[in-house]
Amino acid sequence: MRTFCVGDVHGCYDELKALLDSVAFDPNEDLLLATGDIIGRGPRPLETIRLFMSLGKHAVAVQGNHDLSLLRNYSIWRNLRDASSRDKFVAGLKSRELGIILAQDDREEIFTYLRSNPMCYSDPARRILLTHAGLSPEWTVSDALIRGAEVERVLRSDRFDWFMSNMFADKPDSWSKILKADARLRRTDRLLKKDTASKSATLELKRLIYSVNALTRMRFCREDLSLEFLCKDGPEAARSQGLYPWYEKCTGIAGDETVIFGHWAALQGQCPRKNIIALDTGCVWKGSLTMTNLDNLRIRHTVAAG
């Protein structure tokens, strides 16, 4: 079995098909991985989702920020009180994906599929971690898998709507502060024997928000390793603001481990660290779509945007 990993597709279905055809991808034998954001802004989101769904266990797309944004809009839509409110909400969205999917007879199956996608993908044999945005500079690979699994459980549970309504926030931005707060709570609980359920729930939400931010939104961090989400500059310009690309401060990757990420089209698939692989080359921005074989990460297959 060959394992391929493609960068952010963003609904660029034709380019994805061309890439798969160029390597004679076998849907019964090979495995297709994706760095997330399989939809968002591109011309054929429904066809892209259906392609991944049709491959079953032969395809895994990790969650990206655009995928989660679609799920959040879906959550808002289904909790509106009447059909008129729902129609107005869909009509007012800048993105097209929700309306397109809602028009399908199998829409619930599609949303169930999207909710089931993992936050991270690990290939233990090759020592590879795949996430949309990368690896938090305060985490190890193991941390990412544990924290990603915590988010996945909520996405697939009856707490989905609760989390969607709280998911997108720029704070907390520091994992170490969350750990310190957790340690304080444990000491209080042990010494005073108080009911700390509400504080525990607050800390859980902070963990979940930070995990989503680190795995799907992150580009830059500060000197203290806290994450920053507003800067849209390139790495060099960001340094003048005291910001660093997350991969420059990331120390949680062992020597034989590799992290693959997308999300950052401005990098054009280039990362200076040899064990960190960037795959987003901005197909939806008229760049290209890039794919690599996990058995030889130096070889890339690229199709220019049509």
User: 21 Cβ partners below 8 Å, 6+ apart?
Assistant: none
Domain encompassing residue 9: 3-304
Specify the pLDDT at position 193.
53
Cα separations (Å) of 224 from 105, 183, 250?
A: 49, 20, 12
Number of domains composing the chain:
1
Specify the pLDDT at position 176.
96
Specify the pLDDT at position 249.
97
Distance CA(113)–CA(111), nearest Å, equals: 5
Do 61 and 40 meet the contact criterion of CB atoms below 8 Å apart? no
- The strand ranges marked E within the chain are 3-6, 31-34, 59-61, 121-123, 128-130, 220-221, 227-228, 244-245, 258-261, 276-278, 288-293, 296-304
Specify the pLDDT at position 233.
84
**pLDDT under 50: residue ranges of the chain:** none
Count the neighbouring beta carbons within 10 Å of the beta carbon of residue 253: 19
**Pick from 288, 286, 149: which is nearest to 211 by CA?**
149
Distance CA(198)–CA(268), nearest Å, equals: 44
Specify the pLDDT at position 181.
86
Specify the pLDDT at position 151.
98
Instruction: Say which CATH number the domain at 297 has.
Output: 3.60.21.10
